[in-house]
Amino acid sequence: MREIVFDTETTGLDPRTGDRMVEIGCIEIVNLMPTGRSFHAYYNPERDMPAGAEAVHGLSAAFLSDKPLFRDGAADLLAFIGDDPLVAHNAGFDFGFLNNELELCGLTPVDTGRMVDTVALARKRHPGAKLSLDALCTRYGIDRSHRVKHGALLDAELLAQVYVELRGGRQIGLELAADAASSQSGDTHQPATLQLRQAPTGARREPRPHAASAAELARHAEFVGKMKAPLWLK
């Protein structure tokens, strides 16, 4: 199954008060495996950048001033995400900004039925634990040392790794190994089947005796006899 893990950076917290999306990063995964395909874009928000928001992601109004408007790049973004599920951390926030931008340029919003929220998944799997992206990366041993500031593509890459772990980890896929074997044989259309190892053939060897010898039993009895007040006698 194809899914898109994505993240956004914005001018603030609420598109209803005039905040805009200024960056989006998307990572394609298929059967919970990153394919190497991604989408990344900066957008000119046509407004100022509040100091608080710039401190989070480092994107200034000057840097964004020569970037395309969202409406000029919307078609490329929509082509990349297709009709597949969209995975985000605190997904309602990112969906809100993405759909606001689509509505501003007269396009149909993305159906929220496609939304997969990793915060909700993490809360169900780790009740009471910290649920930030940083905290989940620490929990799953995901290296985020290169994350100095928030960045949409970098955060989407980290979230993709977290999402795989939330879905059960990389060992979930015996079927993934089978799919890989199928693709190597050139058959990418038929479902893969696992090959079971054949039972060994040849002469059957009789099992070796495992009973203790008389000498071993005597040494054991001597050892036990030296114990003071053993628990099994209470």
Whether 183 contacts 32, CB under 8 Å:
no
7 is in an annotated binding site: yes
76 is in an annotated binding site: no
- Note if 146 is an active site residue: no
Tokens 């956004």 found at: 8
Cβ contacts of 61 within 8 Å, gap of 6 or more? 45, 47, 48, 49
- Identity of the amino acid at 127: P
- Given the residues 126, 150, 189, 210, select the one marked as catalytic: 150
179 is in an annotated binding site: no
Nearest to 159 by CA among 189, 126, 132: 132
Cα 58 to Cα 52: distance, rounded to the nearest angstrom: 10
Cα 218 to Cα 234: distance, rounded to the nearest angstrom: 24
Whether 23 contacts 39, CB under 8 Å:
no
Task: Catalogue the active-site residues.
Answer: 150
- Which residues are documented as binding site? 7, 9, 57, 155
- Which residues are documented as binding site for a divalent metal cation? 7, 9, 155
- Which residues are documented as binding site for substrate? 7, 9, 57, 155
